[in-house]
Structure 1
Amino acid sequence: MGKKDKEKKKKGLGAEKTAEKTEKKLKLKSKKDLAAKGEDDIEKIVKQIEAEEKKRKEVKELTVQPPSHRSNFSMTAHPDNPEIVFFGGEYYNGSKTQMFSDLLIYNTKRSSWTQIQSPAGPPPRSAHQAAIVSQGGGQLYIFGGEYTSPTESQFYHHKDLWCYHFSSKRWEKIEAAGGPSGRSGHRMVVFKHFLVVFGGFHDNLRDSKYFNDVYSFDLNNRIWKKLETIGAGPTPRSACQMFLTLDGRKLINPNIISRPEGGRRICRPEGEGMTHTDMFLLSVDKHDETFSKWRWQVVKQVGNRPSMRTGLASALAKDRVFMFGGVQDKEDESEDEESDEEDSGNFFNELYTVQVEGERATWHLVTLTGKKEPTEKKSRRKDKEGVGEEEEVEKMESMVLDGEEEENKQGPTTLTVESGAFTISSTIGTMETGEKSKEGVPVNKDVFTPSPRFSSGLVYKSGILYLFGGIWEDGEKDLTLKDFYSLDSVKLDTWNTIIESDIQSMEWFGSDSKDDEDDDEDEDGMDTD
Structure 2
Amino acid sequence: MGGGRDKRKKAKERKEGPIAGLGSIKTDKKTQLNELKKERRANKALAGDEDNIDALLLKCSLEDKARTVLTLETDSPAPSARVNASFIPYIAPKVNEIIMFGGECVDPLSGKVRVFNDLYRFNCDKEKWTKVLAPNCPTPRCAHQAVVHKSVMYLFGGEFTSPNQERFHHYKELWRLDMSTWEWDHIPQKGGSCPTARSGHRMVVHKGRAILFGGFYDNGKEVRYYNDLWVLTLDDSKWSVPALPQGGQAWPSPRSGCQLAVNGDLMFLYGGYSKVPDDEDKELEHGKVCDDMWVLDLTKFTWDRVKKSGMAPGLRASFSMITHKGRALLFGGVSDNEARGGEDLSSDFHNDLYQFNFEKRRWFAAEMRAPAKKTKSTAPEGTSADVPSEASTDLSSSKLENYKAGSMSDGLTSQMAALLESGRDKNSAIYKAVVKIQSQFRGYVVRKAYRTYKLGGVVSELLYSPAAYGIDMSIRNMPKPKGRINAQVAVVGNEAWMLGGIVEIGEQEITLDDMWTLDLAKMDGWELIKENTGGEEVFRRAAATAAAAAGGSSSDGEWATDNDDSSEDD
* Aligned AA (1:190): V
Shift of the alpha carbon at 1:228? 4.0
Query: Are 1:501 and 2:532 matched, yes or no?
Result: yes
Q: Which has more radius of gyration?
A: 2
* Aligned AA (1:371): P
CA RMSD of aligned residues (A): 3.5
Q: 1:122 to 1:406 in 2, by over 3 A?
A: closer
Shift of the alpha carbon at 1:145? 0.5
Question: What secondary structure sits across from 1:302 in the alignment?
Answer: coil
Query: Are 1:128 and 2:144 matched, yes or no?
Result: yes
Q: Deviations over 1:123-168 (max 9, x none)?
A: 10011111111x2xx1111110000112222100011011111111
Shift of the alpha carbon at 1:426? 4.2
Q: Distance in 2 between matches of 1:204 and 1:43?
A: 13
Question: What secondary structure sits across from 1:276 in the alignment?
Answer: strand
Q: Distance in 1 between matches of 2:140 and 2:283?
A: 28
Q: Deviations over 1:352-389 (max 9, x none)?
A: 111223xx6211112322321189xxxxxxxxxxxxxx
Quote the residue 2:304 is aligned against. Answer: 297
Q: Deviations over 1:58-87 (max 9, x none)?
A: 100002111111111111111322111111
Alignment map for 1:212-223 (pairs within 5 Å): 212-223=227-238
Does the Cα contact within 8 Å between 1:282 and 1:295 map onto a contact in 2? yes
Q: 1:348 to 1:507 in 2, by over 3 A?
A: closer
Does the Cα contact within 8 Å between 2:173 and 2:189 map onto a contact in 1? no
- Counterpart pick for 1:273 among 269, 273, 287: 287
Q: 1:235 to 1:495 in 2, by over 3 A?
A: same
Question: What secondary structure sits across from 1:115 in the alignment?
Answer: strand
Shift of the alpha carbon at 1:284? 3.4
Shift of the alpha carbon at 1:52? 3.5
Q: 1:409 to 1:274 in 2, by over 3 A?
A: closer
* Aligned AA (1:243): A
Query: Are 1:256 and 2:272 matched, yes or no?
Result: yes
Does the Cα contact within 8 Å between 2:425 and 2:431 map onto a contact in 1? no
Q: 1:277 to 1:424 in 2, by over 3 A?
A: farther
Does the Cα contact within 8 Å between 1:50 and 1:120 map onto a contact in 2? no
Q: 1:236 to 1:489 in 2, by over 3 A?
A: same
Q: Distance in 2 between matches of 1:505 and 1:46?
A: 31
Shift of the alpha carbon at 1:446? 2.5
Quote the residue 2:18 is aligned against. Answer: none
Gaps of 5+ in 2: 1-44, 277-281, 376-422, 540-544, 550-570
Does the Cα contact within 8 Å between 2:46 and 2:55 map onto a contact in 1? no
- Counterpart pick for 2:212 among 197, 212, 222: 197
Does the Cα contact within 8 Å between 2:215 and 2:255 map onto a contact in 1? yes
Q: 1:373 to 1:98 in 2, by over 3 A?
A: same
- Counterpart pick for 1:67 among 47, 68, 79: 79
Q: Distance in 1 between matches of 2:217 and 2:86?
A: 19
Q: Distance in 2 between matches of 1:170 and 1:235?
A: 38
Quote the residue 2:252 is aligned against. Answer: 234
* Aligned AA (1:304): M
Does the Cα contact within 8 Å between 1:84 and 1:105 map onto a contact in 2? yes
Q: Distance in 1 between matches of 2:275 and 2:134?
A: 33
Alignment map for 1:315-330 (pairs within 5 Å): 315-330=322-337
Q: 1:35 to 1:90 in 2, by over 3 A?
A: closer
Q: Deviations over 1:284-334 (max 9, x none)?
A: 355xxxxxxx21111122110101000101111122111110001121234
Gaps of 5+ in 1: 1-33, 261-267, 287-293, 337-341, 376-394, 509-513, 519-529
Query: Are 1:366 and 2:369 matched, yes or no?
Result: no
Question: Between Structure 1 and Structure 2, how many residues are aligned?
Answer: 429
- Counterpart pick for 2:427 among 382, 399, 407: 399
Q: 1:424 to 1:499 in 2, by over 3 A?
A: farther
- Counterpart pick for 2:197 among 182, 196, 204: 182
The structure in which a higher percent of residues are helix is: 2
Question: What secondary structure sits across from 1:78 in the alignment?
Answer: strand
Q: 1:36 to 1:486 in 2, by over 3 A?
A: closer
* Aligned AA (1:145): G
Q: What TM-score does the superposition give when structure 1 sets the normalisation length?
A: 0.73
Quote the residue 1:431 is aligned against. Answer: 465
Alignment map for 1:376-455 (pairs within 5 Å): 399=427, 403-404=431-432, 407-408=435-436, 411=440, 413-414=446-447, 416=450, 426=460, 428=462, 431=465, 445-455=476-486
Q: Deviations over 1:245-291 (max 9, x none)?
A: 2x2x121111233379xxxxxxx9755321111111111355xxxxx
Q: Distance in 2 between matches of 1:78 and 1:416?
A: 42
Quote the residue 1:21 is aligned against. Answer: none
Quote the residue 1:171 is aligned against. Answer: 184
Q: What TM-score does the superposition give when structure 2 sets the normalisation length?
A: 0.68
Does the Cα contact within 8 Å between 1:346 and 1:423 map onto a contact in 2? no
Does the Cα contact within 8 Å between 1:208 and 1:270 map onto a contact in 2? no
Quote the residue 2:317 is aligned against. Answer: 310
Quote the residue 1:355 is aligned against. Answer: 357
Shift of the alpha carbon at 1:448? 1.8
- Counterpart pick for 1:42 among 28, 45, 53: 53
Q: Distance in 2 between matches of 1:181 and 1:298?
A: 26
Aligned-residue sequence identity (percent) comes to 30
Question: What secondary structure sits across from 1:202 in the alignment?
Answer: strand
* Aligned AA (2:212): V
Query: Are 1:91 and 2:105 matched, yes or no?
Result: yes
Does the Cα contact within 8 Å between 2:487 and 2:498 map onto a contact in 1? yes
Question: What secondary structure sits across from 1:408 in the alignment?
Answer: helix
Q: Distance in 1 between matches of 2:275 and 2:324?
A: 26
Q: Distance in 1 between matches of 2:217 and 2:457?
A: 31
